[in-house]
Amino acid sequence: MSTEHTFVSPGPAGLAALAVACFGFGAVFNGHVELGGLPLLAAWLVGGGIVQYTVAVMELKDHNMTGGNVFLFFAAFFMFGAAISVMMKFLMLSGVLGAVKPAAMVEGFCWMAGAAFLTAVTPAYLKSPKPLFILVILLDVALWLIVGLDMGKLGPEFKPVVGYLLYVSGWIGIYTSAAVLNNHIFGKTVLPTFGTFVK
C-alpha cells in the first residue's frame, strides 16, 4: 500500500472559507447587515461549510489531528449550524413563523461549548505558523464575547469589538492561506509564515 499523499493539503481553502464567515459575522456584529441580508449570509456559510468539511476529512485522512478536528467542528457549527441559525432568525424576525422572537440564551450555551473547545485546543496551534496561532487566540476571545452577549452578561457596546476581532481574524486567515499556498507552489518563502512558537 502506498503511503504517498494523493492530494495536497486543502488547508488554504479552509482558511479562506473561515475568512468568509469572519467577514460575514463581523459585518453583522458591526451593524452592517439588515434583515434581508441574513438569508444571503446563510447561503455563503453553507458554501464555507462544504469547503471546511472537505478540508476536515482530508486533514484527518493525513493524520492531522488538530486541523482535521477543528475544521470538522467549524464546518458543523461555525458554518452549517450557524447557517441554519441565521435562517431561523430571519424567519422569526420577518414574521414567517408568527410572533416568535429568537431566544439568544440557548446559543450562548452552545457557543460556550464552541469557545471552550477552541480554547482547550489552542495550545496545539503553538506548533502551527505564528499567524495561525494568533488567529486562534483572536477567535477564542471573540467566541467568549459572543457567549457573554448571547447570555445577556455583556452589553451591546461589545458587539463592535467582536466584529473587529472577526475582521482581523479573517484577514490573518487570508494571509496565512496565501502564504502556505504560494510558498508551496514556488518551493520557497514568498510570504513569510514567521515560524512557530514551539518546535
Nearest to 46 by CA among 24, 68, 69: 24
Predicted confidence at residue 23, as pLDDT, reads 98
Residue whose entry in the numeric block shows the C-alpha cell 473587529: 164
Half-sphere exposure at residue 93, Cβ-oriented, CA atoms within 13 angstroms = 15
- CA separation for the pair 81, 7 (Å, rounded): 28
pLDDT at 98: 83
| Number of residues that this document lists for the chain | 199
pLDDT tens, residue order, the chain (199 aa): 445 667 899 999 999 999 999 999 999 999 999 999 999 999 999 999 999 999 999 999 999 999 999 999 999 999 999 999 999 999 999 999 888 899 999 999 999 999 999 999 999 999 999 999 999 999 999 999 999 999 999 999 999 999 999 999 999 999 999 999 999 999 999 999 999 999 8
What stretch of H or E contains 66? helix 65-73
